[in-house]
Amino acid sequence: MSVDVGLFGPDSVTWKLHREPILLLGGLRSLYLQALHPRAVAGVAQNSGYRSDPWGRLNRTSDFVGTVIFGTTEEVERAASRLRRIHAAMTATDPRTGERFRIDEPDLLRWVHVAEVESFLTTATRAGVKLTPEEIDRYYDEQRRSAELVGLDPASVPGTAAEVDAYYEAMRPELALTKDGAETALFLTVPPAPESLPAALRLGLSLGPARWAYLGVAGTAMGLLPPWARRLYGGLGWPTTDVTANLSARGLRVLIDTVINTLPSRYRMSPVYRAALARAEAAAAAA
């Protein structure tokens, strides 16, 4: 009997990388990077409920990524089909030109995809996850399957580190910090506490040590951006910033792993990853 291990499987670089909790930091980095594309961030600002329900949107995005990486083929196709339907119904107005555009334009989908996967990979490696150059290229190539799910032609998506670098170089003239981008970055840096929490706890999270700790995390995500992206935000492109961000990311990875290892075993990995491992073990036993 054949066991479905999803799009990638246990031997993929994708599974090796995405089992790392530090990729949460990579997700934050990718949002800062995506916000530098004027049309992409306008599309988010005009269609998304991230300001009214930021934590719900974050959970939904995390669930989608987790499903694509570790879900069964059927689960992946169902989630991707739903996402494509949502995107197909959305349009936005370019604030610079007044032009109306579709959210699912290939150029916008490609920017979001590359910014996301490059952020995951860069954050993990700078935090100390060991990958060879061959594994890095393999990850980008594997992630072309994720790009196809959202409606992109895989051949149009960078599939190696060199191709990603060339893509960024070609995109840089199109990038800028707009009003939408600045507001999004500020929101990412100082997000509100979840509305579902009691008022006293929300106040404590907004003013207490947790707020300062999160500011450190956000600062690390910003510091991990490419120097040219930091300069667009008005920051510095100095190499010392890169060194500081690397040290901070490595420290966060150690801290997160230490905390996770203190938890009961059933809480040390996400349910979708646990289910994927069980299927992989069943597939190996059946081979």
Q: What is the DSSP code string of 160-212?
A: SHHHHHHHHHHHGGG----HHHHHHHHHHHSPPPPTTS-HHHHHHHHHSHHHH
Tokens 């290939």: give the residue.
106
Which candidate, 171, 104, 139, places its Cα nearest to that of 16? 139
Q: What's the one-letter identity of residue 37?
A: H
Q: Say if CB 13 and CB 138 are below 8 A apart.
A: yes
pLDDT given at position 201: 46
Q: What single DSSP character describes residue 255?
A: H
pLDDT given at position 221: 95
pLDDT given at position 215: 87
Q: What's the one-letter identity of residue 54?
A: P
Q: Say if CB 184 and CB 47 are below 8 A apart.
A: no
Q: Residue ranges of the domains in the chain?
A: 13-286
Residue 205 CB neighbour total at 10 angstroms:
17
Maximum separation of any 2 CA atoms in the chain, in Å: 59
Q: Give the containing element (helix H, strand E) for 91.
A: strand 91-93
Backbone angles phi, psi at 93, to 5 degrees: -110, 130
Which candidate, 218, 28, 209, places its Cα nearest to that of 116? 28
How much is the pTM? 0.91
Show pLDDT as tens, one digit a residue, over the chain (287 residues).
577 889 999 999 999 999 999 999 999 999 999 999 999 999 998 987 666 666 667 778 889 999 999 999 999 999 999 999 999 999 999 988 999 999 999 999 999 999 999 999 999 999 999 999 999 999 999 999 999 999 999 999 999 999 999 999 999 999 999 999 999 999 899 877 655 544 544 444 455 666 778 888 999 999 999 999 999 999 877 778 899 999 999 999 999 999 999 988 888 888 999 999 999 888 888 77
Q: What is the DSSP code string of 230-283?
A: HHHTT----HHHHHHHHHHHHHHHHHHHHHHHTS-GGGSS-HHHHHHHHHHHHH
